[in-house]
Structure formats: C-alpha cells, structure tokens
Amino acid sequence: MEKKNIDWGNLGFGYVQTDYRYVSNFKNGAWDDGEITTDANIVLNECAGVLQYAQTAFEGMKAYTTEDGHIVVFRPDLNASRMADSARRLEMPVFPEEKFIEAVTEVVKANEAWVPPYGSGATLYLRPYMFGSNPVIGVKPADEYQFRILCTPVGPYFKGGVKPLTLKVSDFDRAAPCGTGNIKAGLNYAMSLHAIVTAHHEGYDENMYLDSKTRTKVEETGGANFLFVTKDGKVVTPKSDTILPSITRRSLLVVAKEYLGLEVEEREVYIDEVKDFAECGLCGTAAVISPVGKIVNHGEEICFPSGMTEMGPVTKKLYDTLTGIQMGRIEAPEGWIHVIK
C-alpha cells in the first residue's frame, strides 16, 4: 500500500483528516453492527446530551509501524476496559470490549496509508470516543449514543520533542475526591482548559495538579501521569484515586522492574519531597515519556539534576525500552502487542 505524501518527521500533535473512521450507534437499547465511513462530520440535534450536559468520554492510543514492517497497536484491551469504566461512570452504555478491539483493527487497516513509516518519529493516533446523541433537556442520561474512532497521524505532543519541560504547580483543581478524575470524561479536559491557557500565558509548558483536598500531594498533569526517579535509581509514581490510570505508566512500572531490574514504588508523593528526586517525567500515550526539567511552586523553583537539555539517564532507559517494545525492536510481554497486519 502506498503511503500518503506527508512530511512525517515534521508532524506535530494535531488533527489531520484521514480517509476513514469507525462509527456505531446505540438505539433502542442495543449497539448496531458498526461500520467504516468516509464522513468526518456529525450532524446532531441542538439538544443532544453531549451538547447540553457533556455526556462524553474518550480514549487515546497509537498504531505503530514496527521495524519488520508490521502495523501494531499497544495494549488496546486496556483502552477498551478503561472506556467501559468511563461509560459506566457517565451512565452511558458500554461499547463491548471485544468489539472495541475489532473496531480499532478495522479502522487502522482502512487507514493503512496514513500509518507513519518505521523510524519517522510519527505514529497514527487513534481517538475512540462516545457521546449522548439524542435530545435531553432535563438532567438525565441520553437514550441514544454514538461511538466513533478517528485516526490522525501525529508527532510529539510537546513542541521541541524531548527537550525538558517547565511546569507550574496549578492553583486550579483538575479532579475532586469521588469525582471523575479516574475516568477519561471530556468534562475533565474542559475544566482544565483555563488552567492550561493560563499556564501557557505565563510561559509554562504544563500544569502539575495537586490533590484538591489537601493540596499537598502530586496528582498528574492535564494529559499525563508523573514518574519520578530517586537519587538511588528507584522509580516512584503517585498513587491516587483521582488520577487517570495511565496505561503507559502501568506498562512502565513493568518495564522498570522486569526489563531494567529497577525498584518501583507506587505511593502517595508529597509536593514537599519533589525537590529530592533526581529525575521527573510525564508519561502517557501522547506524551510517551516527556522529561521535566523544572517545576515552579509559587515562586519556589525545583530544578532536577537531570537539567534542561536532556532526559535523565533512567528516564532515557525507560523511554528506549518502552518505545523499543512498541516498535518491535524489543520483545514485548505476552499480550501487549496487537498485530493489525
């Protein structure tokens, strides 16, 4: 299959309309068979549940071309089950997990020409999402839903690729105890927009959110979990019920332990101890692992010894091993790689 004529190496993290997307509708209590369509537009009633009460959730995953020319997706079963968790929490019908993986397979196959070549630095980002589609005016769940998967070729999430980031400890909250911070609800991102625009205006790359109850513990950023490395090489990651259970973070803990022989700790991390870490990184599907060089906490500058020019050594090893697994250079644990073709 001939690839699209795209300057793959210079793609940012943006929307490029590809040829095909997957769509399935839920009506009268059941999902239809679903299909691939060329129509990128959605026509909705003015009173649709998603427009009035933000009844929507999404996922994010990537398709990669491996060193030996296969097209693969990384752990789509975990995205399927997290989307099911999001749906349940938002009173939406679950899109069956097996069907989710079939839909991913179909839509990536259809868009094969858009899957960036091996070694280009780009990947095909997949965005499954679902929303309440019929009119709702009283505050209640919709009766009808649409599930879709769009695809877009992407480069690095942060401009500058792997240049260490500067973060601000935000005065805004992303999630509340017993709220929706642990699911991928669109509303979590809507309420982070003012915080990220404010941070960007002030010259920061991202926000570090603290727990909203005590404002003492590290949570996550608007789109990634945190990883820290101690001065003696231990990998530490915040444990919280109000952060998104990142598939990248869960995978990296396995990589750190099983592939790199590092000690790992998932525990509460206090903002006061962050200054003692040697390295810090953001991890997620879009972020992959993006190094953090500096965090500013209300005038206090926390500068990591790894500096502002390169990834720290442990972060780099984690990055190389994870991307090696995703691109087929390193053998993956059983079940991590879903081969499309």
Catalytic residues: 184
Under rule CB under 6 A, residue 220 binds ligand PLP? yes
Pick from 223, 291, 293, 328: which binds ligand COI (CB under 6 A)?
A: 223
Under rule CB under 6 A, residue 246 binds ligand PLP? yes
Please tell me the distance from the alpha carbon of residue 23 to that of residue 326, in angstroms, as a whole number. 27
**Which residue matches tokens 């789509």?**
76
Pick from 123, 285, 315, 326: which binds ligand COI (CB under 6 A)?
A: 285
CB of 278 to ligand PLP, least distance (A): 22
Q: Which is nearer to ligand PLP, 83 or 229 (CB)?
A: 83
Under rule CB under 6 A, residue 156 binds ligand COI? no
Please tell me the distance from the alpha carbon of residue 226 to that of residue 249, in angstroms, as a whole number. 8
The stretch near ligand PLP (CB under 6 A) out of 21-29, 141-149, 245-253, 309-317 is: 245-253
CB 128 within 8 A of CB 122: no
Please tell me the distance from the alpha carbon of residue 273 to that of residue 304, in angstroms, as a whole number. 12
Please tell me the distance from the alpha carbon of residue 114 to that of residue 184, in angstroms, as a whole number. 26
The stretch near ligand COI (CB under 6 A) out of 25-33, 45-53, 90-98, 279-287 is: 279-287
Pick from 133, 225, 242, 321: which binds ligand PLP (CB under 6 A)?
A: 225
Under rule CB under 6 A, residue 284 binds ligand PLP? yes
Q: Which is nearer to ligand PLP, 21 or 184 (CB)?
A: 184
Pick from 248, 306, 315, 321: which binds ligand PLP (CB under 6 A)?
A: 248
The stretch near ligand COI (CB under 6 A) out of 99-107, 113-121, 142-150, 280-288 is: 280-288
How far CA 101 is from CA of 23, 261, 330, in Å, comes to 13, 32, 23
The stretch near ligand PLP (CB under 6 A) out of 45-53, 244-252, 265-273, 313-321 is: 244-252
Under rule CB under 6 A, residue 180 binds ligand PLP? no
CB of 240 to ligand PLP, least distance (A): 11
Q: Which is nearer to ligand PLP, 237 or 246 (CB)?
A: 246
Per-residue interface string for the shown chain with ligand PLP, residues 40-69, x marking contact by CB under 6 A? --------------------x---------
Per-residue interface string for the shown chain with ligand COI, residues 81-110, x marking contact by CB under 6 A? ------------------------------
The stretch near ligand COI (CB under 6 A) out of 27-35, 40-48, 264-272, 278-286 is: 278-286
Write out the chain in H/E/C secondary structure.
CCCCCCCHHHCCCCCCCCCCEEEEEEECCEECCCEEECCCCCCCCCCEHHHHHCCEEECCEEEEECCCCCEEEECHHHHHHHHHHHHHHCCCCCCCHHHHHHHHHHHHHHCHHHCCCCCCCCEEEEEEEEEECCECCCCCCCCCEEEEEEEEEECCCCCCCCCCEEEEECCCCCCCCCCCCCCCEHHHHHCCHHHHHHHHHCCCCEEECECCCCCCEECECCCCEEEEECCCCCEEEECCCCCCCCHHHHHHHHHHHHHCCCCEEEECCEHHHHHHCCEEEEEECCCEEEEEEEEEECCEEEECCCCCCCCCHHHHHHHHHHHHHHCCCCCCCCCCEEECC
Under rule CB under 6 A, residue 60 binds ligand COI? yes
CB of 338 to ligand PLP, least distance (A): 15
- Using CB under 6 A as the criterion, which residues of the chain lie in contact with ligand COI when the complex forms? 60, 223, 284-286
Contacts with ligand PLP, residue ranges (CB under 6 A):
60, 220, 223-225, 244, 246-249, 284-285
